[in-house]
Structure 1
Amino acid sequence: MRRLGYLLLALLLTLVTAGPARPVAPVAPARPPAGGSSSRAASDSLADRIEALLLDTVATPGHRLLQWHDLRGTRDFYQRRAGAPAWCEASRLNAQGQAAVALLLGAEDYGLQPVNYHGPALQALASALNSPVPAARRAALQARLEVLLTDGLLRFARHLRRGQLREFTPSPLEAADSAFVPAAWLARALAAPDFVPVLLRCQPAHREYRQLQQALAHWRRQPWGRDSARIRRAQQLALTLERWRWQPIADTGYVLVNLPAYTLEVVHRDSVLQTHRLVIGKPESPTPTFSSRLRVFTLAPEWRVPYSIATEEILPRLRHSPRYAARHRFLIYDAQGQPVDATAVDWWDVNKKRFRYTIRQRSGPGNALGSVIFRFPNPYQVYLHATYDAHDFKRPYRALGHGCIRMEHPLQLAAYLLRDADSLRATLPTEAALAAAPVPRRITAPRAMPLHVRYATCAVVAGRLRFYPDVYQQDEALRRQLFGR
């Protein structure tokens, strides 16, 4: 009895010294492991599941991470939406989600491949949502479909804008201070009444790209089967679209040279105002692609022969006959700029390493530059000019030059450049008049005309799809990069 009294007294002292009891803070339930959808409670919101997938960057045994193309961009997209889902509602894909999945599954219409944008996975997830599944499983499927669809769309938009092989290189369409941000572009498209058309505006808008993309989509819908020749033609269309994404045209009026087609076109909006046949550089001295501006041209120009042509082509002819110079209206000057009589030189004693002469060709008939030359800024010293020998324009194969571009009927282009200067245009002579009285004359147009030299082995011409020979053998390497062997 005395022992029980001691125990009661000790308990009383303990309560007095401890003070009043404090309430115990509730313990927050542990968040389920990211990506482990099977362990989530059914009450978890879709937004919570999306957030968990976006934070799921650590693989664990039995748990495979999602394969991201642009995790940072996908996170950015959902941050702009405060985590709200974009493509699913009421346990299914909404209208924009259905349109987005269909767009990625039809990526071949744009020369792209659905597998690069989670196409097979999206198709499987969308099919699973259309079948009866438990609520928790359905929520997990929705979350995966949401983030994979967003990730695929971001990459798809970047490829449409910049091309697959240069997806991190800004397009010429992007100003230095306004780089393309796929997440922002996708968010704006989703907010628009017509989601797909607005999203597709990230593509180049010029007529050559637009018409070719439409031709590819039409080509794929024809009941031609999938034989190897048809597949290669579809790939040719796709790789040409890829090149156009690297070098799009922002102008509405321009001069376009397509090297494989051997043609120059004067384009205004969606109309071709002039078409000229061309002779371009040989495969061993190919004409490069570039952009510049046409404004200055010279009538009846004198030709200053490049060193390589002087030593490799003219020197052997002078050795054979020094009178070759007079017959072809060449003027030869020594290192001091003094005229030289070609017949007084032992040309066999001259070689490429000791060639101290400059050669010019007088203007007029026989001049290699013809009746007019168009000069424009470019790093290759390539120009557009006429010729007095029109025979080559009748050949089907016209990669015959040294790199410069020879054109048929060049004075028509000169007249177009002077379309806003009636007084100057009225003074343009005919080619016959220039041949009869070849007096050099430099003319500057009131405004410059954009010039684009491109390499496209297929194009839409007068509403018809045309394929051209790969004259510089550039397609095959690009085909392997895009489609493998």
Structure 2
Amino acid sequence: MSLAGCDMLDKYIDRAEATPDPVVQRDIDLEDVQPQVRKLFAIGSFRDEIVHADTLQRHYRSRDYRPILIHDGFPSQALGIMRFFMDAEAHGLQPEWYHVPALQQLLDEVLRGGDDGLLDEKLARMEVLLADGVLLYARHLRFGMFDPRRIDRAYHLPVTQYGLRELLEPLEATNVLAFLRNIQPSNGRYRKLQQALQSYRDMRREYRWPSIPMPAQDKLEVGDTSSVLPLVAYRLMLTGELFGSLHAPVPGAFQAVDLPALAFRFDSTRLTSMGAIVYDSMLVRSIMRYQERHGLLVDGIIGSRTIGRLNRSIDAYIDQMGINLERFRWLRYPDQGRYIVVNIPDYHLRAVNDGELETTMKVCVGEPKSRWYAGAYA
């Protein structure tokens, strides 16, 4: 979504939360909007815009096409719903999936006023687009975007089932905004992943992500000198293995790896032109942390595999976090209770008790070759 679109919506929200303003709030004649809602479902091009066309048509028909989300005091509730849609990016989702651009345009046109006949049609469009967006948004947060069993037939973990009744729950709720608030995932690990996602998006906006060339000697070991190392250190700062936090670097730490103070500014243009520096123990430890986190051989040697992974684009990291948020929504890890998680790619088992990590250990994974193998490692 464009910054201009966000600013416009924020402006309307601020005004709607202030004292009633005839420019912001409008009284809606529901009897005039009803026939327009009915007509929309007969327009093929409009039906193609919405995901739940048949389901919504049946639902509105059962209530004689009376609006659910557009009513007196407009646009307060519509703005609240659109705010949830706009914040979908925090879940690795896209606001566009919930009709935000079209809703923004309609909202702007409705609040500017104009011909009442067209106004009723625009309100009807907002009604149905909001309803479709609410169903889709609530389904994504409660059950995930996809059924994992359709992606992987071998998927064997529990999947939350839902039917028509569960799908329509948000539209039948007494308070739609409260319903949307209550379905926000609250798991601590989910929240931490959201924070990491936002951090990487901030990095993409604020910092460059330059490519790291292979060193002239093909691999770097402790004590070697290379002009590639400043960029390696820069990347490790961004990903958190060097100093641990991008926004709170350790004072004087760069001097420990022979990097000048200018590197504190994360100026990759200058780093590219810096001379060779020594691959010392501090950088080695950071590389080993990076290798462990990314499933590489933890040997502290910077070779082709490590350089290749360091050159992974920041967009790839962001996409991966979005995928992992989706996996969290499939599983719904509880904040309470005891359970074990086995992370297959990094060969680790983690025991969790009431949301807190109690212990971790290395494990063997793979297909059991015999009963002994399964008994020893399964």
Q: Per the shorter chain, which TM-score range?
A: 0.5 to 0.7
Counterpart in 2 of 1:243?
A: 327
CA distance, structure 2, for counterparts of residue 57 and residue 161 of structure 1: 30
Describe the superposition over 1:243-290 as per-residue Cα deviations: whole angstroms up to 9, x where unpaired. 2333444572111112234332221122112222x1434xxxx469xx
* Pairing 1:208-227 to 2, within 5 Å after superposition: 208-217=189-198, 219-220=200-201, 224-225=205-206
- Describe how 1:417-456 pairs up with structure 2 within 5 A: none
Assess, with a 3 A threshold, how the Cα gap between structure 1 residues 193 and 44 changes in structure 2: closer, same or farther.
closer
Q: Give yes or no for contact 2:343–2:349 (8 Å, CA) kept in 1.
A: yes
> 1:86 aligns to what SS in structure 2?
coil
Distance of aligned partners of 1:134 and 1:185 in 2 relative to their CA distance in 1, 3 Å threshold: same
Q: TM-score, normalised by structure 2?
A: 0.53
Q: Is residue 35 of structure 2 the alignment partner of residue 48 of structure 1?
A: yes
The answer to whether 1:259 aligns with 2:344 is: yes
Instruction: Show the 5 A alignment for 1:51-62.
Output: 51-54=38-41, 56-58=42-44
SS of equivalent to 2:342: strand
1:59-458 aligned within 5 A: 65-78=47-60, 83-90=65-72, 92-93=74-75, 95-166=76-147, 172=158, 174=160, 179=163, 181-191=165-175, 194-200=178-184, 203=185, 206-217=187-198, 219-220=200-201, 224-225=205-206, 229-249=313-333, 252-276=337-361, 278-281=362-365, 286=366, 306=370, 382=374, 385=376, 404=377
2:364 is paired with a residue whose SS is strand
Structure-1 separation of matches of 2:353 and 2:59: 38
Whether the aligned pair in 1 keeps the contact of 2:37 and 2:124 (CA below 8 Å) is yes
Is the contact between residue 135 and residue 168 of structure 2 (CA under 8 Å) also seen in structure 1?
Answer: no
Q: Which amino acid aligns with 1:211?
A: K
- 1:238–1:45: structure 2 CA closer, same or farther, 3 Å change rule? same
Offset of residue 121 of structure 1: 1.2
Superposed displacement of residue 224, structure 1: 3.3
The CA deviation at 1:147 is: 0.1
Conserved? CA contact 2:139–2:167, under 8 Å: no
Deviations 1:100-156 (A, max 9, x none): 112112221111112222222122212222223222222111110110111122112
The structure-2 alpha-carbon separation of the partners of 1:174 and 1:124, relative to structure 1 and needing over 3 Å to count, comes to same
Identity of aligned residues (%): 25
| Distance in 2 (alpha carbons) for counterparts of 1:183 and 1:77 | 11
Cα 1:180–1:263 shift into 2, 3 Å: farther
| Structure 1 CA distance for aligned equivalents of residues 319 and 49 of structure 2 | 26
- State which structure, 1 or 2, has the greater radius of gyration over its C-alpha atoms: 1
1:100 and 1:57 map into 2 onto residues whose CA distance is: 25
- Which residue number corresponds to residue 376 of structure 1? none
User: Structure 1: which 5+ residue stretches go unaligned?
Assistant: 1-41, 289-304, 308-359, 361-380, 386-403, 406-485
Runs of 4+ in 1 over 6 A off after TM superposition: none
Q: 1:194–1:231: structure 2 CA closer, same or farther, 3 Å change rule? A: same
Q: State the SS of the aligned residue for 2:349.
A: strand
Distance in 1 of aligned mates of 2:63 and 2:337: 36
Query: For residues 125 and 177 of structure 2, what CA distance do their matches in structure 1 show?
Result: 25
2:51 match: secondary structure: coil
Separation of aligned partners in 1, 2:144 and 2:367: 23
Post-superposition shift, 1:198? 2.2
C-alpha distance 151-43 of structure 1, shift in aligned 2 (>3 A): closer
Structure with a larger share of its residues in helix: 2
TM-score, structure 1 as length reference: 0.42
How many residues are treated as equivalent by the alignment?
241
